Structure 1
Amino acid sequence: MAAGEGNASDSALWPGASPWRSSVVFGAAALFVFFQMVLQTSPSVMREGLVVDLSLNEAGFGGLSSSFYYPYILLQIPAGILVSRFGARSVLIAGALLCTGASFLFAMSQTANAAELTRILMGLGAAPAVVCTMTLAAQWFPPRLFPILAALTEVFGMTGAALGQETLGLIVEHAGWRTAMMTSGAFSAVLLGLIVIFVRNRKTSEDGAEEHWPRPAEMARLLISPSILAPAMAGGLVAAAGVSFGWLWGVSYLQAYHGMSLSAASLSASFYFWGCLPGMLGSAWLCSRYRIPAPLLALGAVGTAALMGLILFVLSGHIVLSAAMFVLGFFNSFYALSFTMVKEKAPSRLSGVAMGLTNMLIVGIGGLIFQPLIGVLAHIRGQDVPDASTLSVTIAAPLVALAILAVAGTGKALGKTGKLSPPSGPRLGGSRATD
């Protein structure tokens, strides 16, 4: 639906959903996305302390950081199923409980194995954050606003990553990484209270039977559909540069090869996340207005590859690199459009599963593959910190995304892709007002 359409029917489709109440529900859930990004990126500013205290090499540090992503990635689709069955509120509460406990346990870890176990618990708790928030956005707001709300969800995450790197970097520098993680645990406990108080599920089906177990055949058909996989995969490959460099290795790279202190490198790297904010909101506005998510995602891929090349092989200087990180974040953030592309193709009753698959690929390609891959390559080459040539694998990923988008666009032009048609037989959960 184009922007501006459907205004007359919004009040009929969402009776009683006042803008204030809807915003409070969405905002409280989005704060969990904010915090889970703090947890995801926290090792980037704790590397030196973790390496010394836990006796890690660079490959071990990459493995410790990536241990968060194994449960996070694997649980994205199950998280969508659980949200369909139990509702976003219950799943969010369980996730916040796990993240709170894991943050305190990580701060008390004495061995690498213990730290990895607590990072796994963090990944378990953080896994449903994006799926739950986007599900609540679909429940509490009209469909025409979804591109903006999907972008805002990612904006909350990027803001958490930026403020997390800056704030935790200062705490680590002055009080150590254990104090930083204790502070994170306290914040998580407050966030848990806000979710319990403010977040509520909202029925959107005519008969009130919104929560159900999706049928395996429906999910299998969704998960192997090229019209779903292509944009999700392309979004993940575009995001890979940001997830691997901006979220983890960028701080260490700026310290080692540009002579920055930890706090200066953290500040410079955080400009990536600040650049994501106007990039996500601007691309979402253009998508809502002109309905061109695929060309915008392709533009993001080109910009990401170009900026990574400049940062690694051309530019130098604190101010120049900070500006380049900002522009990198601007273009790289276009990956968020893949959520809109997938939602347009997926049946609404399977929206949670589709969002889970998309987020799985967005975070998984960079976090589960590229982050540890870069660490392993650095270890093989005898580098304490990956250099520019090792990090150049981040340039290849968005170029592959361009190829996928080109093939998908060709298939669409030939009529080979399109929105998944409803399966035959009765639908579980009744007819939804938003379909």
Structure 2
Amino acid sequence: MQQLDQNKVKKLMGYRWTVWGVLVLSYVIVFFHRLAVGVVREDLVRAFDISGTTFAHLGSTYFYAYMLMQIPSGILADSLGARMTVTVGTLVAGIGSIIFGFAPTITIAFLGRLLVGLGVSVVFIAILKVQSQWFKESEFGTMSGITSFVGNLGGMFAQTPLALLAAAITWRYSFAAIGVISLGIAVLSYMIVRNEPKDMGLPSIAEIEGKAPAQGIGKPDLMKSLGTVITNWKTWPSFIMFTGFFGAYVSLTGTWGRSYMVDVYGLSKVAAANYMTAAVLGMAIGSFVIGKVSDTLRRRKLPMLVFGAIYVTCWAILVFLRGGQPPAAMMMPLMFVLGFTCPTFVLGWACAKEINPPQIAGISTSVVNTGGFLGAAILPPVMGNVFDRFGGQLLPVELYQKAFLYCFIAAVLGYLATFLVQETYCRNIYKG
């Protein structure tokens, strides 16, 4: 084997964190927008005079755009590359956030939300693609967890800090400010990010690990690659699990959870946001821990089953204990554990990469990633319809129990799908 230049190896091992660091800043913006509208719900309803269902659809516009863009995101990551994909995407998201902040009508607000969803939709798959080029295969689960951890910091900012910021400078200026920050991150992405080490004249990770570099592969046939992924039945259990788990989580933390704490427990808006912050913090920590546990054990399916069971149990407690109103003292730890165990789905991304051809990591992870945003797009409006139909007829606790029952069902279906996940033992097992 050819002797590698150790200076170049050292440069690669350092610069990969710079590349990842810039990309993950974009992912912080992704998570902020994912959960932000739930915190300013009353402001939006008052500003545009909209119903609960319309508000839920406004929030879901982000997720519909995100969902529809996942497979195109994978194609862009595998063809155009992460650098240009994230640069353009973050630029579009920044413009969308500014439009949303200054929207004079609900129609313009929908347009701004749509642009945000389209823009941020490309970021995560691009990060997974970069991880597959700049990090070792054995590091993938851990890196996915760390990425989700840092991204969730954006979700935390979209809870109590956003509530305080909106109170200080209004929700409109808050979203405009995030838009300006996004434009700056887009510039950084173009200046710093590189798609793979060879773009800087550095050796590949495969060469560093002593593996023979792939020869003659070139750019994959994109439509054929997509067909390979979607006809592989092993792709779909992770898709279904992500649909149920993430759809339920976002319905709580991004749309109806804060209102639940206000209406059922009589908390102030800021105090209620603290409980959703606990769930987001739990997800941030859980994303790292679950990925690390999986990589350490060299197992994917077993951690999914264990952490997934705890997640479903949390939803059962929230929906059924004391008629849908667990003791107030229990709510903060319950929200944290619910968030901590939800990112069982991070292992689904690793599985997608490991049961499909390694050179199409972007497409394979994007197909699985579509599932989560399908759930996040569908569940909140379904729950909004419950509030519009039964609001005024039921007590608040009964109303929320009826709505959250859909989240519990989604979580159960997602968990059942984990039993069909193919164990990969943290290595690529694809056989064409």
TM-score scaled to structure 2, two decimals? 0.87
Secondary structure at the counterpart of residue 236 of structure 2: helix
- Structure 1 residues 378, 159: CA separation in 2 closer, same or farther (over 3 Å shift)? same
Deviation at 1:236, TM superposition (A): 2.5
Residues 13-36 of structure 1 show CA distances to partners (whole Å, capped at 9, x for unaligned) of: x94653321111001101111111
Whether 2:280 is the aligned partner of 1:286: answer no
Secondary structure at the counterpart of residue 260 of structure 1: coil
Q: 2:414 maps to which residue?
A: 401
Q: Distance in 2 between matches of 1:72 and 1:10?
A: 41
Asked if the contact 1:86–1:211 (Cα under 8 Å) also holds between the matched residues in 2, the reply is no
Secondary structure at the counterpart of residue 110 of structure 1: coil
Q: 1:391 maps to which residue?
A: 404
Which 5+ residue runs of structure 2 have no aligned equivalent? 199-203, 207-212
Q: Distance in 2 between matches of 1:260 and 1:211?
A: 58
Where in structure 1 do 4 or more consecutive aligned residues deviate above 6 Å? 9-12, 207-211
Q: 2:117 maps to which residue?
A: 123
Q: 1:235 maps to which residue?
A: 242
Secondary structure at the counterpart of residue 270 of structure 2: helix
State the Cα RMSD in Å: 2.5
Q: Distance in 1 between matches of 2:25 and 2:217?
A: 25
Asked if the contact 1:84–1:214 (Cα under 8 Å) also holds between the matched residues in 2, the reply is no
Q: Which residue of the other structure, out of 356, 379, 385, is the alignment partner of 1:376?
A: 385
Deviation at 1:213, TM superposition (A): 5.2
Q: Distance in 2 between matches of 1:89 and 1:270?
A: 31
Whether 2:329 is the aligned partner of 1:324: answer no
Asked if the contact 1:255–1:262 (Cα under 8 Å) also holds between the matched residues in 2, the reply is yes
Whether 2:224 is the aligned partner of 1:214: answer no
Q: Which residue of the other structure, out of 54, 58, 67, is the alignment partner of 2:52?
A: 58
Q: Percent of aligned positions with the same letter in both sequences?
A: 21
Q: Distance in 2 between matches of 1:344 and 1:121?
A: 32
The residue type equivalent to 2:311 in the other structure is T
Q: Which residue of the other structure, out of 302, 307, 311, is the alignment partner of 2:318?
A: 311
Residues 287-342 of structure 1 show CA distances to partners (whole Å, capped at 9, x for unaligned) of: 11212221221223221221123234435565531221111111112221111111
Q: Which residue of the other structure, out of 150, 172, 180, is the alignment partner of 1:178?
A: 172
Secondary structure at the counterpart of residue 302 of structure 1: helix
- Structure 1 residues 319, 274: CA separation in 2 closer, same or farther (over 3 Å shift)? farther
Q: Distance in 2 between matches of 1:324 and 1:200?
A: 41
Residues 174-194 of structure 1 show CA distances to partners (whole Å, capped at 9, x for unaligned) of: 332102112211221222232
Q: How many residues align?
A: 406
Alignment of 1:197-208 (within 5 A): 197-202=191-196, 203=198, 204=204, 206=213
Q: Distance in 1 between matches of 2:4 and 2:274?
A: 43
Asked if the contact 1:170–1:263 (Cα under 8 Å) also holds between the matched residues in 2, the reply is yes
Deviation at 1:408, TM superposition (A): 4.7
Whether 2:17 is the aligned partner of 1:23: answer yes
Q: Distance in 1 between matches of 2:169 and 2:119?
A: 26
Which segment is superposed worse, 75-84 or 272-281? 272-281
TM-score scaled to structure 1, two decimals? 0.87
Q: Which residue of the other structure, out of 131, 134, 140, is the alignment partner of 2:128?
A: 134
Secondary structure at the counterpart of residue 421 of structure 1: coil
Q: 1:425 maps to which residue?
A: none
- Structure 1 residues 248, 11: CA separation in 2 closer, same or farther (over 3 Å shift)? farther
Q: Distance in 2 between matches of 1:357 and 1:29?
A: 21
Q: Distance in 2 between matches of 1:144 and 1:162?
A: 29
Secondary structure at the counterpart of residue 68 of structure 1: helix
Q: Distance in 1 between matches of 2:382 and 2:272?
A: 22
Asked if the contact 2:70–2:366 (Cα under 8 Å) also holds between the matched residues in 1, the reply is yes
Q: 2:64 maps to which residue?
A: 70
Deviation at 1:171, TM superposition (A): 1.3
- Structure 1 residues 10, 111: CA separation in 2 closer, same or farther (over 3 Å shift)? farther
Q: Distance in 2 between matches of 1:236 and 1:49?
A: 29
Deviation at 1:382, TM superposition (A): 2.7
Asked if the contact 2:39–2:158 (Cα under 8 Å) also holds between the matched residues in 1, the reply is no
Asked if the contact 1:173–1:263 (Cα under 8 Å) also holds between the matched residues in 2, the reply is no
Which segment is superposed worse, 197-206 or 233-242? 197-206
Q: Distance in 2 between matches of 1:263 and 1:320?
A: 19
Q: 1:349 maps to which residue?
A: 359
